[in-house]
Amino acid sequence: MTVLGGIGFTAPWLLLALLALPVLWLILRAVPPAPVRRLFPGVVLLLGLRDDESITDRTPWWLLLLRIIAVAAVIVGLAGPVLNPQQGSTGKGPLLLVFDASWAGAPQWDEKLEFADLQVTEAGRSGRTVGFLRLTAPQAPVFQAADVQQGAVAGLQPEAWQVSAPLAQQAISALAGASGSFDTVWLSDGLDYPGRDDLLTALQQYGDVRVIQSPFPVYGLMPPRIEDGSVLLTVHRSSGVGPRRMTVLAQGRDPSGTARLLASANAVFAPGETEIEATLDLPSELRARITRFELQGQRSAGAVTIADDGLRRREVALVAGRVDREGLELLSPLHYLEQALQPTADLLTGPLMEMLPANPDVVVLADVANLSAAEDEALADWITGGGLLLRFAGPRLASSEMSRETEHRLMPVRLRAGGRTVGGAMSWGEPKALAPFDKDSPFHGLSVPSEVRVTAQVMAQPDPTLADRVIASLNDGTPLVTRKPLGQGQIVLFHVTANAEWSSLPLSGLFVEMLERLAVSSAAKRPDASDLAGTTWMPEQVLTGFGALTDAGNLPGVEGPDLANAPLGPELQPGLYASEDRHLARNVVEGDAFPGAADWPADVPVEGLTVSRETDLGGLLLSLAILLLAMDVIASLWIAGRLIPVRTAVPALIAALLLLPPAPGAAQSGDDIATALTSELALAHVLTGNSAVDDIAQAGLQGLSDTLFFRTSVEPANPAGVDLERDELAFFPLLYWPISADQPIPSDEAYSRLNAYLRSGGMIVFDTRDADIAGFGGASPNGRKLRALAAPLDIPPLEPVPPDHVLTRTFYLLQDFPGRHTGRDVWVEAAPPDAEQIEGMPFRNLNDGVTPVVIGGNDWAAAWATAPDGRAMLPVGRGFTGERQRELAFRFGVNLVMHVLTGNYKSDQVHVPALLDRLGQ
């Protein structure tokens, strides 16, 4: 590969073709552009005209330039240009990749892997075998072919701990098995650690060592400290470079248990500074919910610190039996408890029933014997839910009958009456000392001060369960502290008082330590090895190298002293450890000193972690050439005048867009339909399901509507077909219901609506359409169907239209009501029985109401039916009489609609003279 100006060429000789470009320029210049073809009637005048010059028109220079660049791009592209050409390393023999693989490298782990991948690829090109060694989990390296190792290298992960001296020794011993010589590429994480020099020396024995180390500092977050109520978090970095702003995030759970960001604090590194502090002021309620702190934007275990009990302040409710001894502070049953708990816990005092809803972690009952039933119940519930009830004995408890005969549920043991006093003036024995703690006891490992003496105690009844429940006893074997689980919580009884009356225990440091072990109080400072002696801690969650908390799985437990002191490693992974109710975290960055940046001897080459991938430019250039040639096509067309003019193209484009299928319009909502129907009057017919009948009904109502429009001031809109099951009827004054024998009976719901429609003033015109073959009420199929249909309807008594019915004179004066047939019987609501014709008056006074139904069989719709072009659709009668019959049918329709709309208006006697005049009487 030849490198010219930072770009390598795989086929550099092809570049000589660039020399031909000027020639191409001349050639292209001489070739005229394609001719423009034009329509021109005046061409006859041009015939015979010769061009003056033999030199032709030239291609425009910019078009030439475009083509030259395109050709040049092709030539250069074919020459195989490569950006950042990798000059292969000269080494021979196997290659060992050494990873620190600690948390410190996690933020740049991807770059490290990419670099390693590059090294492996390169080694593969020169036929070298490759092995790798992770110093945080050293195993003897196996040298294999590069392509075999490529996948293995890509799967490497950083560990959450730092390389320690023992691990370095392990690594050296793992190397001992390797034979021959090899070169080493050491991907350092940038932090110093013990044993690194030895390892370097060991590696240099085998061959050259190159160190790859990022120049960026490593950041670490120390566990929180609590000072004056605020949380202090120290942020370290390995080298003091320029200023840097760090944000510390406090992650935890909100009251509903959802993980979220609870607080954040900023701290700014001044240039050269390697250590700063961020301060978080949090209410203890919030503080107790924090699960971990982390540095924003740093993806490593060192940037995470897990919060444990050290951050929690427990809430302890103190309840004392005797509160009447005002002023005698030192004798107060709660004095020593308060002193012991004050630094590390939030104390609640007050009535028990008021404190329990605050859900304290611990309730201390100091010499409380009698609880009310409600208190008893509430306390038992609270314990069952996980509370710790800590009871102290005292004179009241000793003298009470509580838990005497049977074990009280809030007492761990039964008590003997009266208790005992030892070593007093009136007793024989010596005051008793404490026996060493059992292995099973939560106090195991605490040293017992010799000066603690117990002079009085309450005595436990020797029950079968007693032995299990004793967690501390006096040296004569009598129980001093007993414990009983209840639900998820527990009850602990100190058989002495909480003050110094019965024993010197509250005066000793052991008392505080015992409270800590019971998780009544959390330690003010981190427990050391002696504090944790005798305890075993199970890992609950462990950190990955990237700082994520994962379930610990089945990792083995850790002895307390080891947890406190042992260096982190595969056996003691950083994470959260639990023992009984206590939680302790081991964090990655701990202690006072943060490791500095790794310094390498002058003879070891140290390189930055810059990866510059080879980039093949050939494809890019060839694409550029194609693009330029496409532009050349457009430009040539433009010069030749062949481009579609914008004026043509734009409307065509718009038309094409318009031709796209339009989005389906939103279906008309029910409100819209209602608005349309109510804004104008519309007649309606019932859809029978028989399309022939429905079409005739529709056309008939259309014809009637047109007639109304032409002859009266009623101007209906287009008639509507009504589906009784779905449609609202209230919009229509008149419902034409043609009866066909095969139509379905409407549902009950439809009938209820039909009845409501009739009661609210609607009119239904039933038309059996069979007056030609059957009289009304006859046994024709339609007649039977009508009876079936109308049975559920709320129809008043009917009668044939009387001659003085208002229907005969609402608009036209009519005597009979023909449709397509001329049946006589049309039935309407019967007149009230008291209506009588007054002498001299042509009409009875029938002033009330519109008949809700009109029943007939004259097939009116067929007579009204009008085609869209105005022709009658069906013949009526013969000749002129037929037309007269149709006219009368229309008149009946007009009268019908008028009757519906005007009610009994025309039956008012006011109109009688005019009507008489028209009747010629």
Q: How far is the CB of 50 from other proteins (least distance, A)?
A: 9
The Cα 202–Cα 173 span in angstroms is: 10
Query: What residues contact 695, with CB distance under 8 A and at least 6 apart?
Result: none
Pairing state of beta strands 314-320 and 362-366?
A: parallel
The Cα 521–Cα 390 span in angstroms is: 12
Contact 643, 95 (CB under 8 A): no
42 vs 464, which CB is nearer to other proteins?
42
Q: How far is the CB of 46 from other proteins (least distance, A)?
A: 5
Q: Tally the residues of the chain.
A: 921
56 vs 339, which CB is nearer to other proteins?
56
32 vs 761, which CB is nearer to other proteins?
32
C-alpha closest to that of 99 among 79, 116, 118: 116
DSSP per-residue string spanning 279-340 = EEE--HHHHTTEEEEEETT--SGGGEEE--GGG--EEEEEEES----TT-GGG-TTHHHHHH
Q: How far is the CB of 45 from other proteins (least distance, A)?
A: 4
Query: What residues contact 403, with CB distance under 8 A and at least 6 apart?
Result: 411, 413, 414, 415
Q: What is each CA distance from 874 to 697, 736, 838, 886, in whole angstroms?
A: 12, 18, 44, 10
Pairing state of beta strands 720-722 and 304-306?
A: unpaired
The Cα 211–Cα 462 span in angstroms is: 72
Q: How far is the CB of 29 from other proteins (least distance, A)?
A: 14
Q: How far is the CB of 27 from other proteins (least distance, A)?
A: 17
Looking at the DSSP bridge assignments, the partners of residue 855 are 766, 827
Q: How far is the CB of 642 from other proteins (least distance, A)?
A: 13
Q: How far is the CB of 60 from other proteins (least distance, A)?
A: 10
Q: Which residue's entry shows tokens 């389906």?
A: 664
Q: How far is the CB of 57 from other proteins (least distance, A)?
A: 5
13 vs 40, which CB is nearer to other proteins?
40
45 vs 667, which CB is nearer to other proteins?
45
Q: How far is the CB of 640 from other proteins (least distance, A)?
A: 9
Q: How far is the CB of 42 from other proteins (least distance, A)?
A: 5
Q: How far is the CB of 86 from other proteins (least distance, A)?
A: 52
243 vs 641, which CB is nearer to other proteins?
641
44 vs 667, which CB is nearer to other proteins?
44
Contact 251, 289 (CB under 8 A): no
Looking at the DSSP bridge assignments, the partners of residue 485 are 490
Q: Residue 755, SS3? A: helix
57 vs 476, which CB is nearer to other proteins?
57
The Cα 485–Cα 463 span in angstroms is: 16
Pairing state of beta strands 230-237 and 209-213?
A: unpaired
The Cα 26–Cα 575 span in angstroms is: 77
C-alpha closest to that of 786 among 794, 795, 777: 777
54 vs 921, which CB is nearer to other proteins?
54
Q: What is each CA distance from 221 to 191, 225, 260, 594, in whole angstroms?
A: 15, 12, 20, 10
C-alpha closest to that of 620 among 115, 78, 119: 78
Can you state the angle between helices 691-711 and 879-902, rounded to 10 degrees?
80
One-letter amino acid of 408: H
Q: How far is the CB of 646 from other proteins (least distance, A)?
A: 13
647 vs 878, which CB is nearer to other proteins?
647
Contact 472, 483 (CB under 8 A): no
602 vs 655, which CB is nearer to other proteins?
655
Query: What residues contact 717, with CB distance under 8 A and at least 6 apart?
Result: 677, 680, 681, 682, 705
Q: How far is the CB of 41 from other proteins (least distance, A)?
A: 4
Pairing state of beta strands 244-253 and 219-221?
A: unpaired
Q: How far is the CB of 65 from other proteins (least distance, A)?
A: 19
Give the interface with other proteins as residue ranges (CB under 8 A).
Answer: 32-47, 49, 51-53, 56-57, 639, 647
Q: How far is the CB of 63 from other proteins (least distance, A)?
A: 13
Burial label, 108 (beta-carbon count in 10 A; 0-12, 13-18, 19+): buried
41 vs 477, which CB is nearer to other proteins?
41
52 vs 228, which CB is nearer to other proteins?
52
One-letter amino acid of 148: V
67 vs 236, which CB is nearer to other proteins?
67
C-alpha closest to that of 819 among 766, 763, 764, 741: 766
The alpha-carbon radius of gyration of the chain (Å, integer) is: 52
439 vs 647, which CB is nearer to other proteins?
647
Pairing state of beta strands 362-366 and 763-767?
A: unpaired
Q: How far is the CB of 59 from other proteins (least distance, A)?
A: 11
Q: How far is the CB of 70 from other proteins (least distance, A)?
A: 23
Tokens of 13: 């000789």
152 vs 639, which CB is nearer to other proteins?
639
Query: What residues contact 912, with CB distance under 8 A and at least 6 apart?
Result: 841, 842, 843
- How many CB atoms are located within 10 Å of the residue 182 CB? 23
C-alpha closest to that of 239 among 259, 263, 213, 265: 213
32 vs 570, which CB is nearer to other proteins?
32
